[in-house]
Amino acid sequence: MLPNSKGFWALLISVSMLALFSSACLESHADVRLSKSDEEMAKRVIRKNECGLCHTLQARGLNLTGKIGPDLTQQAHRDRSPQWLQGQLTNPVSIPDHEVVPGFEGKQKLMPRFNRTSERELNAVIEFLRSLN
């Protein structure tokens, strides 16, 4: 294929777009490193706060089957920042409807605050959720 042919440029653009998309997907979650102890802490906090009454979460030994809130099993695919997740957990009513998983608008007002957790526990839950894919 010659550099001046239409096929060459179409292939080059396609490969470039694929590379860009792939690197963006890998970059957004590759930095989430969760120690085994932090993962266990996060799962304890999730159980203690009874998140499974509302949320489904089928990952890493958790078998939560709630249906009121969104499924958290692949939370990392939503690409939420740690700051966004902290706001969702500590002050759920502050999250506007347009930022909520479609179909769950308004239900964030039903979610209780994570106000009985230490900063370390909260950070462990946030990183655990960001690591789910």
* Sign of the four-CA dihedral 43, 115, 130, 107: positive
Q: How many CB atoms lie within 10 A of CB 73?
A: 17
Do both 38 and 71 map to the same domain? Answer: yes
What is the reported pLDDT for 76? 87
Do both 8 and 39 map to the same domain? Answer: no
Do both 70 and 46 map to the same domain? Answer: yes
| CATH code (residue 92) | 1.10.760.10
List 14's β-bridge partners, or say none.
Answer: none
What is the reported pLDDT for 22? 41
Do both 101 and 73 map to the same domain? Answer: yes
Do both 120 and 67 map to the same domain? Answer: yes
Do both 41 and 9 map to the same domain? Answer: no
pLDDT(30) > 50: no
Do both 58 and 89 map to the same domain? Answer: yes
Do both 23 and 38 map to the same domain? Answer: no
Q: Which of 13-22, 63-72, 102-111 has the lowest mean pLDDT?
A: 13-22
Residue 7 phi, psi dihedral angles, 5° rounding: -60, -40
How large is the average pLDDT for residues 23-37? 58
Do both 49 and 19 map to the same domain? Answer: no
Task: Give the C-alpha separation, 51 to 95, whole Å.
Answer: 18
Q: ∠ at Cα 37 (44, 121), nearest 5°?
A: 50
What is the reported pLDDT for 33? 77
Do both 26 and 38 map to the same domain? Answer: no
pLDDT(60) > 70: yes
Determine what percent of the chain is predicted with pLDDT higher than 90: 63
Determine what percent of the chain is predicted with pLDDT higher than 70: 76
Do both 53 and 17 map to the same domain? Answer: no
Range of the domain at 87: 34-131
Do both 73 and 51 map to the same domain? Answer: yes
Task: Give the C-alpha separation, 108 to 129, whole Å.
Answer: 17
What is the reported pLDDT for 4? 64
Number of domains in the chain: 2
Q: Decide: pTM greater than 0.85.
A: no
